[in-house]
Structure formats: structure tokens, C-alpha cells
Amino acid sequence: MFLIAGFALCLGDKLVLIGITSHYNWAEGFIQLRERYIKKISDEGASVLIIPPMFSDEIADSLDGLLLSGGDDIDPRFYGEPPRDVGSIEPMRDEAEIRLVREFIKRDKPVMGICRGAQVINVSMGGTLIQDIKTEVSGAIKHWWSRRESEVPYWYPTHRVRIEKDSMLFNTVKEEEIWVNSFHHQAIKKIGSGLKAVAWSDDGIIEAIEAEKGFLLGIQWHPEGMEDEPSKRIFRSFVEACKR
């Protein structure tokens, strides 16, 4: 058994149902998800199911697409490394989401990952992560801005991202360079099988990955927190892919 919460909006005669993964607070025993993820999907006319870490793989059969939300660091054991400068981890969530990504890929259904979600996609495909940009990458710009300490508003862009023209992401946002918000201290290192990097910050950190075929997109920034046109286009493109 698994628990799902959410609300539904009909899209014409077809109900497009997108699952969004959630954060599990194992210390206090509750799940949570920022409302803005739900709003961005519902704004495009799709329905939302909130997925807790405890679920059956068969849920992939019932959904048209999967959105992997942000959250804590991935346990490095899932990509074969010892922990170094890692923050809070959610091992049960890690294992569940990695398995779920693979189930969606097997079914050729759209998957989009945001921040941690992009890293989950990469690890699911055999990739690895930079465990802490500040200590591992010389000359790196500031990627971790703390919302809790009120360093910057959630929607505020703090650095540039360059986008590869020969990519699905470029065809979506229609721009070679955009400004994005940034709330991560980890990043993609070795790219997973069947994936390619399609966006980078000025210091060379990978900011987006996508599959060589199908709709499998990982974005390191948080478009759900921004109201600019490129962010809207990203969610619109994802929902459109889920309709097909």
C-alpha cells in the first residue's frame, strides 16, 4: 500500500496525471512538498499526485509523467563513494526515487528532475556527484544561497547559465543564456549512461542534463520558484510531453 494526496484538473477529455515526489522527515514521521511545485503543474492544466517514499513500483503504470522535487543530499553509497562533505540525507527516499526513475524510463514516460531531482536522474543512470562544490571545485561561484537565513528571495536569479543550442532544453527556452536562482551545494560530476550535459554555469558546473532520446530532463536550478518566461516554458514543455 502507498498513500497519495493531491488534486485534479481535467484537460479536455483527458486527465493528465503527474506524480511529484515529496520530502520525508524521518525524524518526525511526516512528508511535505512545497506548494509551488503543484501550482506550476496545475497551471499548465495537469493533475497532481503527491508521492511519498513508500510506494509500489506499479504506480508508474498509473501516471503520465514524473516530477522529482528538490530536497536533501543523496546518500553517496548510491553512487559508490564514501561520505565527505554531505549534508542531511534521505536514504529511503533515495532508493525509492532511483527505482521509480528506472520504472518510468522502462515505460518511456516523461521524467523531469529539479535540483536534487536532477541528481537523482544522474545517479539512476550510473552517474556520480560532486559532494560539495565549495571544497571540491576551485574557483567555483556561489551556488548555495540559504533561503532559511534570508540571503536571497526564492525567485531571485543569482548567476548565468549557458545552454547548448543542440538540445531539447534550448528548443524549450529559446535562449542560449538565462539567469537562474541557485540553492545547491552539490552538482553532477560523471554523467550517467544515455545522458548528456546541456547547460553550464560560468565556472563549468553542469546545470542541466537530458537524455539522448525521449523526455528525460534534469535541471539544477529551481524554475518552480521563478516567474520568468523560460521557467514557464520548461513546465509547459514537460506537461505537453506527458499528454502524448
The answer to whether position 27 is within a domain reads yes
Q: Is residue 4 part of a domain?
A: no
In a domain, 1, yes or no: no
Domain that holds residue 205: 10-243
Residue type, 97: E
Give me the pLDDT at residue 202, please: 96
List 44, 207, 210, 224, catalytic entry: 224
The answer to whether 222 is a known catalytic residue is: yes
Q: Is residue 5 part of a domain?
A: no
pLDDT at 150: 62
Could you read off the pLDDT of 178-194 as tens digits, one per residue? 999 999 999 999 999 99
* pLDDT reported for residue 14: 73
Query: Is position 3 within any domain?
Result: no
pTM of the entire predicted model: 0.92
Within a domain: residue 177? Answer: yes
The answer on pLDDT for 92 being more than 80 is: yes
Residue 38 lies in a domain: yes
pLDDT tens column, 71-82: 999 999 999 999
At 6-17, the pLDDT tens digits run: 444 444 457 899
pLDDT digits (tens, 9 = 90+) for 130-168: 999 999 998 898 887 876 656 888 899 999 999 999 999
The per-residue pLDDT for 148 is 62
Longest CA span, the chain: 53
* E strand intervals along the chain: 5-7, 17-21, 23-25, 30-32, 47-51, 65-68, 111-114, 129-130, 159-163, 177-180, 187-188, 195-200, 206-211, 216-219
Question: Starting from the edge strand earliest in sequence, which strands make up the sheet with 65-68, in order?
Answer: 5-7, 47-51, 17-21, 65-68, 111-114, 216-219, 206-211, 195-200, 159-163, 177-180
Q: Which amino acid is at 110?
A: P
Residue 226 three-state SS:
coil
**Residue tagged active-site, from 159, 184, 185, 222:** 222
208: pLDDT strictly greater than 90 = yes
185 as an active site residue: the answer is no
Please tell me the predicted confidence (pLDDT) of residue 149: 54
The answer to whether residue 47 is domain-embedded is: yes
C-alpha cell at 142: 556561489
Spatial contact of 96 and 120, defined as CB atoms under 8 Å apart = no
- Per the DSSP assignment, residues forming a β-bridge with 218 are 113, 209
Of the chain, the percentage scoring pLDDT greater than 90 comes to: 75
CATH number at residue 121: 3.40.50.880
Could you report the per-residue pLDDT of 100-139, keeping only the tens digit for each? Answer: 999 999 999 999 999 999 999 999 999 999 999 999 998 8
List of residues 6+ apart from 32 with CB closer than 8 A: 22, 23, 25
Rounded CA-CA distance 49/66 in Å is: 10
Predicted local confidence at residue 2, as pLDDT: 38
Number of domains the chain contains: 1
Q: Could you say which of 115, 143, 159, 185 is catalytic?
A: 115
Q: Is 224 a catalytic residue?
A: yes
